[in-house]
Structure 1
Amino acid sequence: MKPFIYSANPSRVIFGSGTLKQVVSEVQRLGIKRPLVLSTPEQSRHADRVEELLKGADGIDSTGQFNNATMHTPLEVTLEAMKIIEENRIDGLIAIGGGSTIGLGKAIALRTDLPQIVLPTTYAGSEMTPIIGQRENGIKTTQISPKVLPEVVIYDVDFTMTLPPGLSATSGVNAIAHAVEALYAQNGNPVISLMAEEGIRALAKGLPVIAENPNDVEARTNALYGAWLCGSCLGHVGMSVHHKLCHVLGGTFNLPHADTHTIVLPHALAYNAPHIPEAMSRIANALGHTDAIEGLNELLTKLKVKRALKEVGMPEDGVDKAADLATKNAYWNPRALEREPLREVIRRAWAGEPAAANI
């Protein structure tokens, strides 16, 4: 076994069904008196439920909402929320939703260091990471800061029961991508590898059932459990070419985050495959298959997800631009980053062609 360093992130995790009720005690425990509830416009009904629980609770002076969280955390939306925070002397954040809302909470925390309580409604996993991505002038950049790591994450399976099967599928594959890259991360370790394999296994078990029966509580519980594990992997080790490609594609062409991860994953995995035999074996095992790429393709087929970037809004003439951006700044990857092979990866993903390990 090679030497390793493992540092646990200090988040408090509450997992179960009906755990939303614990938001009041968690707000009180953190000493928050004037919380702001964050959501997207579509999730405002959930924000209403949270605000209703908080009204009249001991120690809470007032609460409010900001319901304009937006995909890729655009700077202008963050600045709009900051005005409300300053005007109302907000001293804590409650983010309820998926990556858009969680990203907004992180962007605010980066600027204010306000404590965060997160109630995820998807399987994206960003609630478990000190990573933030922000979009400004059409470019998405990421950074790591302990200031953006939420203090409390409340997983309530009940909140995922209404997540549409299609979004459940892409959100879940997005989570799987975190674990896949964790298995070959430069700073990986045995603890994270165990979590990654178990996370892939739980999601691969739950997602196909959800696709056929969205009301299956056991499948929803397995998926949310897997998402927590996969998100924890993302929060502990570095990511590689898959995540780099997805940030470039999403930020440059404003593509839907989860769909982009879902489409790119088999192609990025194929690019690295010859250089990561142990990771490929563990991924295959978690998927219940003898081959990782074939197992992943079979899972995506069962989930009936989109398989081409052109289907989610990427123009064909963006392939070269994406290849340039993906190789612009050096970052670690188990295989050397070569523009032409990466361009072919992006082109195949754009066209929806099968992933090829011989690029």
Structure 2
Amino acid sequence: MSLTFDHTTLGQRVLFGAGQVAEHLAAEVARLGAERVMVISSVSEARTAEEVTRRIAVTVHHRDVAPHVPIDKANAARTIAIDHDIDVIVCVGGGSTTGLAKAIAMTTGIPIIAVPTTYSGSEATNVWGLTEQARKTTGVDDKVLPVTVIYDATLTLSLPVDLSVASGMNGLAHCIDAMWGPRADPINRALAGEGIRALAAGLPAVNADPTGLPGREQVLYGAYLAGVAFASAGSGLHHKICHVLGGAYDLPHAQTHTIVLPHVLAFNAPAVPDLDHRIAAAFDAVSAVAGLCALQAGLHAPTALKDFGLTEQDIPEAVELILPVIPPSNPRPVTADDLRTLLHAALSGTRPASTVHPTSTAPGNGAHPHPRKAIR
């Protein structure tokens, strides 16, 4: 059977190297011919941003950053960029910082140089998100794709292990959603599979040795692949759920993704045994759910949304908000009852059953219940 698909590869420069961020940034600002630089970072990342930008002239530092990019903060930052005649934005931080830079670029077209300090992967996508009146809206616009991403694993050393785990799990969510997103194709599935392998190898290494660079470099590499795959495949069921929960109930982004992911995987994987096998192989596990749950358990990842503020009373409204935005391309239909069951499990922290889909292990069907070890 011949392959037929339509794939777009986004154009972006990536510079990767521990201890080289200031040098790389100065070279990129010069390459772009930029003279008026706006640096965006959170207050907690201010010292890191100053160190990163020590070799360039900065016109304005902006530190009013908040999760889910509230529209009022986006508008204020846009005004500052215009008033200072900014010609390049440098964002130093995680997904919230990158998201604010994207909000500026979306209306001004000012190019972005992203310097990630977490594993969110937002820097590798052309996806933007804004929150207004407790409702998060997302979209796609090539203007928001950073022209350059500068990765330096030393910048992630200050990220505590628990936040590293949650941030890396957010990367895994990008990979898994890319397997069956609205525009999923063989290329982004290949990137997603390698992203899962790198993240599954890197996160335990970070957990075991938080000050070591090899594990953190693997996680950064995996997070980049995750972002590229997700940008290509589009937002699937998992991200639709998490965007609603984050915007409506002010839940922390990475932890919400971490908690919801195994439940979405357990819901979808049985409907697509071939992708179940592919994800399982990347985890080197007997099934996709088994691999993910084993990884999360070993990392002591968060499991319950109730620990972050969601309540039983929120679930009926959440179901109403999520149901209309579920992509029709999801591997199996999603009903209101399905969502209620999924959200109740995620709320309480009930682990999904980590079993292989029955058709994948039936004798004589040609399937392999134990996938071959992923190439290291």
For the criterion TM > 0.5, the same-fold answer is: yes
TM-score interval for Structure 1 and Structure 2 normalised by the shorter chain: over 0.9
1:309 has 2:310 as partner: no
Displacement of 1:289: 0.6
Match of 1:352 in 2: 349
What is the CA–CA distance in structure 1 between the aligned matches of 2:73 and 2:227, rounded to whole Å? 25
- Tell me, in whole angstroms, the C-alpha distance in 2 between the residues paired with 1:122 and 1:190: 28
Partner amino acid, structure 2, of 1:347: H
| Aligned ranges 1:244-259 → 2 under 5 Å | 244-259=240-255
Kept after mapping to 2: 8 A contact 1:184/1:276: no
CA distance in 1 between counterparts of 2:78 and 2:188 reads 35
1:2 alignment partner AA: L
Partners of 2:261 and 2:325 lie apart in 1 by 21
What SS class does the counterpart of residue 180 from structure 2 fall into? coil
For 2:79 and 2:105, how far apart are their aligned partners in 1? 14
Structure 1 partner of 2:8: 7
Distance 1:140 1:193 in 2: 27
Match of 2:46 among 35, 44, 47: 44
Counterpart CA distance in 2 for 1:273 and 1:45 is 43
Q: So what's the TM-score if we normalise by structure 2? A: 0.91
- The residue aligned with 2:285 is 289
For residues 166-245 of structure 1, the aligned pairs below 5 Å read 166-245=162-241
1:88-132 superposed Cα distances (whole Å, 9 cap, x missing partner): 111210001000000000000001000100001111101111101
Q: Distance in 2 between matches of 1:64 and 1:50?
A: 14
Matching residue's letter, 2:47 = R
Distance across 2 between alignment mates of 1:89 and 1:317: 47
Q: 2:71·2:130 contact (CA, 8 Å) conserved in 1?
A: yes
| Rounded Cα–Cα distance in structure 2 between residues aligned with 1:53 and 1:201 | 36
Structure-to-structure mapping, 1:1-359, within 5 angstroms = 1-20=2-21, 21-55=23-57, 62-329=58-325, 331-332=327-328, 333-356=330-353
SS state at 2:226 partner? helix
AA aligned to 2:33 is: G
Q: What is the deviation of 1:239? A: 2.3
Q: Which residue identity does 1:10 align to in structure 2?
A: G
Q: Note the C-alpha offset of 1:18.
A: 2.1
Equivalent AA in structure 2 for residue 6 of structure 1: H
CA distance in 2, matches of 1:243, 1:175: 12
**1:356 CA drift (Å):** 4.9
CA contact (8 A) 1:37 1:96 kept: yes
CA contact (8 A) 2:59 2:84 kept: no
For residues 124-156 of structure 1, the C-alpha deviation after alignment (integer angstroms, 9 at most, x for no partner) is: 101111101110011001011111111111111
CA contact (8 A) 1:267 1:356 kept: no
How far 1:357 moved relative to its partner? 8.3
The alpha carbon displacement at 1:171 in A equals: 0.5
- The whole-number CA distance in structure 2 between the counterparts of 1:357 and 1:287 is 13
2:43 maps to a residue whose letter is P
Query: Structure 2 regions of 5+ residues with no counterpart?
Result: 356-376
Q: Name the CA distance, whole Å, in 1 between partners of 2:27 and 2:40.
A: 18
Report the more deviating stretch, 82-91 or 99-108.
82-91
Give the whole-Å Cα distance in 2 for the aligned partners of 1:255 and 1:171: 14
Q: Work out the percentage of aligned pairs sharing the same amino acid.
A: 40
Q: Is the 8 A contact 2:183 2:233 kept in 1?
A: yes
Whole-angstrom CA distance in 1 between matches of 2:339 and 2:275: 20
Please, which runs of 5 or more residues in structure 1 have no aligned partner?
56-61
Contact map agreement 1:16 1:156 (CA 8 A) in 2: yes
Distance apart, 1:292 and its partner CA: 1.0
Kindly report structure 1 stretches of 4+ aligned residues shifted beyond 4 Å.
none
SS of match in other structure, 1:14: strand
**8 Å CA contact retained: 1:130, 1:145:** yes
Once the 2 structures are TM-superposed, how far is the Cα of residue 85 of structure 1 from its aligned partner?
A: 1.4
Distance 2:347 2:20 in 1: 41
Note the C-alpha offset of 1:331. 2.0
How far apart in 1 are the matches of 2:157 and 2:264? 31
Contact 2:236 2:326 in 1 (8 A): no
- Separation of aligned partners in 1, 2:223 and 2:326: 29
Q: TM-score, normalised by structure 1?
A: 0.95
Q: Secondary structure at the match of 1:263?
A: helix
In 1, Cα distance between the equivalents of 2:229 and 2:89? 24
Change in 2 beyond 3 A, CA 1:138/1:195: same
Q: Given that residues 271 and 357 in structure 1 are in contact (C-alpha distance below 8 angstroms), is that contact kept between their aligned partners in structure 2?
A: no
SS across alignment from 2:53: helix
Cα deviation per residue 1:277-301 (whole Å; 9 max; x = unaligned)? 1111111111111111111111001
For the aligned residues, what is the CA RMSD?
A: 1.4
CA distance in 1, matches of 2:272, 2:239: 17
